[in-house]
Structures are given as structure tokens and as C-alpha cells.
């Protein structure tokens, strides 16, 4: 085939492609852009000065002007129809009907049949599927089925009334997107938001800016989240706060079940109980309003705010359980607490505020382990207290507080009591007292005196008035009275006759200056609240 034949063949193919394209474009264009039709009018007029190329249609006594574009019917008192532009201006009792459900009423209307966009003005009402939107200016795009208002709008249905400055209505999705001064009113709650999406059928709301939800007995704040008023659940993020009559709850994220009165809180938790003056913090927790209880399972810290020496408690898990009159706080595993100069550690702590009672215990040791462990290893596991310079431990520690003053009142220790105190003159030496049980009294939140009963043993370094070591007192007695002053042991009285010897300096070997079961746990001591908070972080 020569070049001339090739060129002719190419020209024919090119011409055929162009013809097909033009036919397709014409068919497609004719399908997309239909002409506005005049269905009826009482009169017909023209005014080339005011409305060039415009047909002025007016109603008569019997019927309104009626125009139609596809499935849209437009009724009005007067319409100016621009046939070439395929557009219309209507005013006077304007009514639009689209499909089976959508209706629009307004004072005046501009509609473009090419773009299928309209602007409605005046007293505008859009009605669809039981919902009514009222505004003074509305844009409706029929191609994407979206309506917009920009100067304030109000939406009402059977259950709610919603208002905002700006809004977009996605007709196919039956969804609104609101901005600026959004307010939702119904019988049970009020929602106020800066930016919110709302689904009409499900009534679900999605928040994207500062939001407040006010219910009968609660108030919720967040900067992002979701709320389902039918399922009565919500997820609130970013600066989330729930306030109720009993407490205030903070968290980065809060899941709330209104019907179950339940909430789960994640990250930067703070639960404030104003009546109990109790603050719980952590990074994951759950709240049970019906039971008036809370649990913190990640980095928990409890603060009982008191006029003097607030109580700080840290544990792997913290519980606040029960109604106000019988509320109990429990800490499980790796418990540490601090109150003024008084601090302690345990596997388990239970604080019954109504009774002024605190119980500290260790994790149960099996019979097999009891036979294997040394007395020192058992004492290492036992709950321990530090009162200024004194270290006090035992199998179980119970102390009470004065309910009127909230100050410590008494202490009781059962089994394996062991008191350790570094010698005030030589810190390499330790004063030690051990026995079966202990009963003591506090004054001004400091341990003032204690009695150790049964199998009491003592090692105590004695000094003269010039702080010169006299000797080491080693004694055994069935009962010993101890007095504390200036943050340390001040006086020891043997209630029953002791068996003991005052040994001169350097007479005893180092192992003879240690009672069986001795262990120095000063490296575990909680010195200040930052120790607890830094460990928590």
C-alpha cells in the first residue's frame, strides 16, 4: 500500500471517530441538559428593558404559574423564564416539589436549569422525610443533592430542634454538616457545638470542635467525638470532661453508656470526687455510676485531699468502691503511699474512710515457700511503714484515723513485727526491735508510742550525754514499750523483766549486731510525692 492510500485510510478513520464523538456528545448533552417547561400560567408578557429575552409569567385567580424541569415542579405567583439561558426567577408564594418527599417554600427563587442550582430567599422552608429546614437564604444543588445555608438555619423533626449559623444538608445521606453556634434541643438533652455532623434518621452526632452536651444529671465537654441518643452511648475525645452530681471525669478519650451509667476513660485520666475529696488519676479506668465505683488499671494514683497531710496512694490497680457512706478504696500489687512524713509499701491496701480504717497486707505465701524462705526474705515481702527515721514491718498492718480530724490515731501489727532505725550517731549501725504483735498510738500524724508483745527482742546502741557509745544493749522480753520523739526512738521501757546484756563497743561480731530477720529497706522509702508521680509517669 502506497503513502496516498495510507493517508486516505487514516483520514477516514479520523473522520469516523469525530462523527462518533459528536453524536455521543450531542446525545449525552441532550440527556443531561433538559429545557425548563411551562406547564401553565395565567398570563404571558415581555419587558425587554427589565428582562431582556425574558418571558414574564403570572398567575390568575385559579392557578399559580407552574414550571417543570425533569422531576422538579416550580409553582409561584410570578416567574420570569429565560428560555435561551434555561433559567427562571420566581417570586410570590414560591413552592417547589422534587420527587415524592422534598418540598421547598420561599418568597423568591433563582434557578439555573443548566447547572441545576437554585437560590431561595425570604422565608425559606425545606421539607423532606419529616424534617423541616428554615432559613432566609438557601442554595440547593440538584446534581449532587446538597443544600446550603449561610446566615442561620433551624431544623426540626419529631424529636429535635437544631440550629446553627452555617449548614449543609446532604439529601441522599439524610445528613447535616453544621458549623458555628450549633445547638440541638430535645426532651432529654441539649447539644452545643462549634462544628458537628448530624444524621437525621439515626440522630447520631459527630463532633469536630468544642462541644457541650447537657443531660438531666450530667454535662459533657469535648473537642471531638460521637453521640448516639437512641443507643445512649457516646465517645468523647480531646479535652473530654463528664460532670455529674457526684464527680468530674477528665480523659483524652471517654466512652460513655448513659443507660448503664458506665464510662471507660483512656489516657490522662482524672476523676474528682468533691464530696469525698478524692482524686484518681491514671491512663485507663472504668466508672460505674450505679455502684458509685471506679477502677484504674494503668498507672493509677489516688489523692485523698485533707486539710493537713493529704494521702497519696499508688498501685498497679486502684478501686474506689461503694456509696459515700460505705466507700472503700483498694490498691492491688506494688502499693505505695505517702502522707506527710508517713509512707509505706504493701501488696494490698484497703482504706475504709467511713470507719477511718486502713489495712495493709502482703500477697499470700504458700506453705511450701514459708518453709523455704528465710525470715529476712519474708520481711522483705511484708508490708512496711516509714515514720520519719523508723522502718516498721509485719505480716499485716492496720491503722486507724480520727474521723473528726482525719489524723492518724492508732496502729496494730500482727505477726513478725520488726522495727529498724539507723543509729543517729553512726549510720552503719541499726537499732532493732522485733516481736509477735504491736499496738501503737499517733499524735499529730506521728507515731508517739508503741508496745511490742510476745517474744520481743532488742538491739539498741547506747550513748552518754556526750554522744559517746556506751555499748550495745541486747535483750529479750515478753513486752517492750517504745516512745518516739524528734522523728526517732526516744525511750525504751521493758514492761516485764528482760534477759539481756549491755555489751561494750567492739565486743560483738558484726553478725551478732543483727537480729534474725533483719533487712534494711530504706532504699524503698517514699520520700515525697514526686517519687510516686515520677514512677507513675
pLDDT in tens, the chain (537 residues): 454 444 455 444 444 444 444 444 444 444 567 999 999 998 989 888 788 889 999 999 888 999 999 999 999 999 999 999 999 999 999 999 998 889 999 999 999 999 999 999 999 999 998 899 999 999 999 999 999 999 999 999 888 899 999 999 999 999 999 999 999 998 888 999 999 999 988 889 999 999 999 988 889 999 999 999 899 999 999 999 999 888 899 999 999 998 999 999 999 999 998 887 889 999 999 999 888 899 999 999 999 888 777 889 999 999 998 877 788 999 999 999 998 888 999 999 999 988 989 999 999 989 898 889 999 999 999 999 998 888 999 999 999 988 888 888 999 999 999 999 988 787 788 999 999 999 999 988 888 999 999 989 999 988 888 888 888 999 999 999 999 887 788 889 988 888 888 898 778 787 888 999 999 999 999 988 887 876 554
> Whole-model pTM above 0.85?
no
Give Cα separations from 66 to 122, 284, 503 (angstroms). 20, 64, 120
Q: Which residues pair with 127 in a beta bridge?
A: 103, 132
Q: Which three cell numbers stand for residue 474?
A: 541486747
Fold topology of 35-128: lipopolysaccharide transport protein A fold (2.60.450)
Q: What is the SS3 assignment for 364?
A: coil
| Structure-block grid coordinates of residue 74 | 416550580
Task: Please return the burial class of 345, using the count of CB atoms within 10 Å of its CB with bins 0-12, 13-18 and 19+.
Answer: buried
d(CA 461, CA 426): 9
- Which one, of 43, 38, 75, lies nearest residue 60 by Cα? 43
Domain positions in the chain are 35-128
Q: How far is Cα 307 from Cα 253, in angstroms, rounded to an integer?
A: 32
CA–CA dist 529, 302 (Å, integer) = 11
**Per-residue H/E/C for 404-427:** CCCCEEEEEEEEEEEEEEECCCCC
Given this model, what pLDDT does residue 516 score?
Answer: 93
8 Å CB contact between 382 and 416: yes
Q: What are phi and psi of 531, to 5 degrees?
A: -60, -45
**Is the Cβ–Cβ distance between 482 and 510 less than 8 Å?**
no
Contact between 151 and 164 (Cβ < 8 Å): no
Q: Who's near 63: CB < 8 A, 6+ residues apart?
A: 40, 42
- Confidence at residue 534, expressed as pLDDT on a 0 to 100 scale: 62
Rounded distance, CA 267 to CA 265, Å?
7
Distance from C-alpha of 306 to C-alpha of 408, rounded to nearest angstrom: 12
- CA 318 – CA 294 distance, rounded (Å): 8
pLDDT value of position 409: 92
| pLDDT at site 287 | 93
Instruction: Give pLDDT, residue 26.
Output: 40
**What are 130's three cell numbers?**
419529616
Cα–Cα dist 379/359, whole Å: 17
Which grid cell is 198?
Answer: 448530624
Amino acid at each position: 500500500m502506497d503513502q496516498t492510500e495510507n493517508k486516505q485510510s487514516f483520514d477516514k478513520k479520523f473522520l469516523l471517530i469525530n462523527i462518533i464523538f459528536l453524536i455521543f456528545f450531542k446525545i449525552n448533552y441532550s440527556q443531561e441538559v433538559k429545557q425548563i417547561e411551562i406547564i401553565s400560567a395565567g398570563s404571558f408578557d415581555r419587558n425587554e428593558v427589565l428582562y431582556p429575552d425574558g418571558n414574564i409569567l403570572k398567575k390568575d385567580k385559579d392557578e399559580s404559574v407552574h414550571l417543570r424541569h425533569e422531576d422538579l415542579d416550580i409553582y409561584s405567583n410570578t416567574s420570569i423564564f429565560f428560555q435561551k439561558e434555561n433559567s427562571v426567577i420566581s417570586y410570590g408564594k414560591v413552592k417547589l416539589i422534587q420527587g415524592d418527599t422534598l418540598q421547598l417554600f420561599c418568597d423568591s427563587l433563582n434557578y439555573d436549569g443548566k447547572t441545576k442550582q437554585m437560590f431561595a430567599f425570604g422565608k425559606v422552608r425545606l421539607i423532606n422525610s419529616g424534617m423541616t429546614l428554615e432559613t432566609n437564604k438557601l442554595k440547593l444543588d440538584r446534581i449532587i443533592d446538597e443544600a446550603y445555608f449561610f446566615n442561620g438555619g433551624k431544623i426540626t423533626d419529631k424529636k429535635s430542634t437544631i440550629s446553627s449559623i452555617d449548614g449543609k444538608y446532604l439529601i441522599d445521606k439524610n445528613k447535616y454538616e453544621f458549623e458555628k453556634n450549633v445547638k440541638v434541643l430535645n426532651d432529654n438533652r441539649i447539644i452545643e457545638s462549634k462544628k458537628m455532623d448530624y444524621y437525621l434518621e439515626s440522630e447520631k452526632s459527630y463532633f469536630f470542635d468544642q462541644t457541650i452536651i447537657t443531660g438531666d444529671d450530667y454535662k459533657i465537654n469535648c473537642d471531638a467525638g460521637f453521640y448516639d441518643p437512641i443507643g445512649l452511648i457516646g465517645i468523647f475525645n480531646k479535652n473530654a470532661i463528664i460532670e455529674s452530681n457526684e464527680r468530674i471525669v477528665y480523659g483524652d478519650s471517654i466512652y460513655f453508656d448513659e443507660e448503664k451509667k458506665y464510662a471507660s476513660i483512656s489516657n490522662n485520666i482524672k476523676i474528682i470526687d468533691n464530696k469525698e475529696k478524692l482524686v484518681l488519676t491514671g491512663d485507663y479506668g472504668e466508672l460505674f455510676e450505679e455502684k458509685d465505683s471506679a477502677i484504674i488499671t494503668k498507672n493509677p494514683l489516688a489523692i485523698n485531699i485533707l486539710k493537713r497531710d493529704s494521702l497519696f496512694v499508688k498501685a498497679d490497680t486502684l478501686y474506689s468502691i461503694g456509696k459515700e457512706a460505705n466507700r472503700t478504696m483498694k490498691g492491688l500489687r506494688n502499693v505505695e503511699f505517702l502522707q506527710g512524713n508517713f509512707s509505706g509499701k504493701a501488696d494490698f491496701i484497703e482504706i475504709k474512710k467511713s470507719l477511718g480504717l486502713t489495712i495493709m497486707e502482703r500477697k499470700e505465701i504458700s506453705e511450701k515457700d514459708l518453709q523455704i524462705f528465710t525470715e529476712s526474705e519474708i520481711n522483705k515481702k511484708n508490708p512496711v511503714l516509714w515514720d520519719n527515721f523508723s522502718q516498721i514491718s509485719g505480716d499485716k498492718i492496720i491503722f486507724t484515723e480520727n474521723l473528726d480530724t482525719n489524723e492518724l490515731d492508732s496502729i496494730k501489727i500482727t505477726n513478725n513485727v520488726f522495727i529498724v532505725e539507723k543509729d543517729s550517731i553512726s549510720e552503719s549501725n541499726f537499732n532493732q526491735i522485733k516481736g509477735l504483735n504491736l499496738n501503737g498510738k499517733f499524735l499529730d500524724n506521728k507515731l508517739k508510742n508503741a508496745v511490742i508483745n510476745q517474744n520481743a527482742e532488742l538491739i539498741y546502741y547506747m550513748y552518754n550525754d556526750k554522744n559517746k557509745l556506751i555499748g550495745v544493749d541486747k535483750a529479750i522480753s515478753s513486752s517492750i514499750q517504745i516512745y518516739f520523739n524528734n522523728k526517732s526512738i526516744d525511750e525504751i521501757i521493758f514492761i516485764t523483766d528482760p534477759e539481756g546484756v549491755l555489751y561494750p563497743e567492739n565486743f560483738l561480731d558484726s553478725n551478732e549486731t543483727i537480729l534474725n530477720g533483719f533487712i534494711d529497706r530504706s532504699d524503698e522509702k517514699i520520700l515525697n510525692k514526686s517519687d510516686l508521680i515520677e514512677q507513675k509517669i
